[in-house]
Amino acid sequence: SPSLVFLVGARASGKTTVGRVLARRLGLPFVDTDAAVAASTGKTVAEIVAAEGWPGFRRRESAALRAAAAAHPGGVVVATGGGMVLAAENRAYMRAQGVVLYLEAPAALLAARLACDPQAAQRPSLTGLDAAQEAARVLAERAPLYAAAAHHRLDAALPPEQICAAVADLIALAAE
Ligand code: ADP
Ligand code: MG
C-alpha cells in the first residue's frame, strides 16, 4: 500500500529528517525505529549495545519495525535504522508490506554530515575506524542490501523538500 512507506539508507543519509517532512506532506504519522527502541527501553543505542550486544539491538529494531506498521493500519512513514536491512526478513517484510525508499548518498556526504552532527558522537562505532573510513566501509557492505530492499532510489544530497516532491511523484505514478 502506498500509505506504508519505509525509508532505508546509511547512517546520516537523512531517513529521520526526510521521513518527518514526508509524513507531514503525505498526512501520515511518523515513526522512527531508533527512537521507538529508545522509548521502549529507556536506553540509548550505545547503552543497549553495551548491555546486549548488536544482536540485542537488532532484535529490538526488528520488533519496532513490525510494531510501527501494526500500530498504524491507516498508514505510516517509518524511518529505519541504518542496519535494518541486514536481516533478510526485514528486507522481505518491508518490500512486501509497503513502499521502500532508499536514500542514496556517497560515503563522503555521509561522513561530512556525521562530522557536524553532535548526535553522531553518541552512536557507537561499528568498525573502530575514523568516521570517513567507517562510512565508506559500512556503505560498501550495505549498499547492495539497501538497493535490494528498495522499490525506489532517491538522491539523498537534495534538500528534503525536493526529495519529498520526488516521492510524491512516484506515489502518484504508482496510483495511476
Ligand atoms: P539518519 O536518520 O538517516 O541517520 P538524519 O535525518 O538524522 O539521518 O540526518 C543526519 C544529519 O544530516 C542531520 O544533521 C540532518 O540535519 C542532516 N540532513 C539530513 N537530510 C539532509 C538533507 N536532505 N540535506 C541536508 N542535510 C540533511
Ligand atoms: Mg535516523
Lowest-confidence pick of 34-48, 101-115, 160-174: 160-174
Q: Say if CB 160 and CB 17 are below 8 A apart.
A: yes
Q: Residue 12: CB within 6 Å of ligand 1?
A: yes
Q: Residue 155: CB within 6 Å of ligand 1?
A: no
Instruction: Using the predicted structure, report yes or no on whether residue 1 has a pLDDT greater than 50.
Output: no
Q: How far apart are CA 171 and CA 174, in angstroms?
A: 5
Q: Residue 14: CB within 6 Å of ligand 1?
A: yes
pLDDT in tens, 18-45: 999 999 999 999 999 999 999 999 999 8
Higher per-residue pLDDT: 77 or 135 = 77
Amino acid residing at 176: E
- What percentage of the chain has pLDDT greater than the value 70? 96
Instruction: Tell me the average pLDDT of the chain.
Output: 93
pLDDT of residue 80: 98
Residues around ligand 2, an ion, CB closer than 5 A: 15-16
pLDDT of residue 173: 75
Average confidence (pLDDT) over 92-100: 97
Phi/psi for 71 (5° steps) reads -80, -15
Phi/psi for 44 (5° steps) reads -75, 165
Q: Could you write out the DSSP letters of every residue in 25-73?
A: HHT--EEEHHHHHHHHHTS-HHHHHHHHHHHHHHHHHHHHHHHHHHH-T
Q: Which one of 33, 101, 113 would you pick to mutate in the ligand 1 pocket, going by the greatest count of ligand atoms within 8 A of its CB?
A: 113
Average confidence (pLDDT) over 96-122: 89
pTM: 0.94
Higher per-residue pLDDT: 86 or 117 = 86
In this structure, the residue with its CA closest to atom 21 of ligand 1 is: 14
Amino acid residing at 168: A
Nearest to 10 by CA among 149, 140, 139: 139
